[in-house]
Chain A
């Protein structure tokens, strides 16, 4: 049972344009969401997070939007840079139970020149 889904395995975007990565979840008990970025031969690194009490969180070029009613979140990268090319994982947890992070399957972003 995949509770966190990233339905796009890959995405290609031109440098300077906006990258939008999507994530859907099914567990209504999730109340905290994170995005991780992973380069080859490295572990995932934390990028940005959002609590369910918010609908938007921004950090530089990265913005995460949360739509609780649709159980959907998205990561926007503006402007996209070649160094953003990586695999992006969405993750979620229930802070009340301090449960483990549940990850999606990842989206491979390729930013082209």
Chain B
């Protein structure tokens, strides 16, 4: 157990629908990152939150949004889903700004859009 909890582990939904992926960071970690891994692709950075505020944005589609709540958990909302959104979505957390640059990843949510 890495300490980063992602729910649900698997999600199957139809095109056009909306889903919410949830992430609880490791205790003490203020930063949360969302990554997408499509088939045979690397980990594509989507968005970062630090202590409730958006810190950095990557190639995140306008149909996707995220937020980090006061208790530091984060949610990634995916709407108007398309077949191409099927992927593994990983959340990671870190203690930013303290010389520790590694992330701790959750086990991911596998999203299948049918």
Give A residues with C-beta under 8 Å from B.
Answer: 2, 4, 6, 9, 32, 34, 36, 41-46, 49, 89, 93, 95, 98-106
Contacts and interface: CB of A to CB of B under 8 A. Distances in A.
B101 A93 contact: yes
Nearest to B96: A98
B33 A105 contact: no
B103 A101 contact: yes
A43 B45 contact: no
Given A100-B33, A101-B45, 20 more contacts: A43-B105, A43-B106, A44-B43, A44-B90, A44-B105, A45-B2, A45-B105, A46-B104, A93-B101, A98-B96, A100-B48, A100-B56, A101-B101, A101-B103, A102-B45, A103-B42, A103-B43, A103-B44, A103-B45, A106-B42
Contact of A95 (B35, B40, B101, B108): B101
B107 A41 contact: yes
A95 B92 CA distance: 17
Mostly helix, strand, loop or mixed at chain B's interface?
loop
30 contacts: A2-B42, A4-B42, A6-B42, A32-B101, A34-B102, A43-B2, A43-B4, A43-B90, A43-B92, A43-B105, A43-B107, A44-B43, A45-B2, A46-B102, A46-B104, A49-B102, A95-B101, A99-B56, A100-B33, A100-B56, A100-B58, A101-B45, A103-B35, A103-B42, A103-B43, A103-B44, A103-B45, A104-B42, A105-B41, A106-B42
A100 B45 contact: yes
A89 B42 CA distance: 8
B70 interface: no
B84 interface: no
Contacts of B2: 43, 45
B101 A42 contact: no
B28 interface: no
A46 B2 CA distance: 11
Contacts of A45: 2, 105
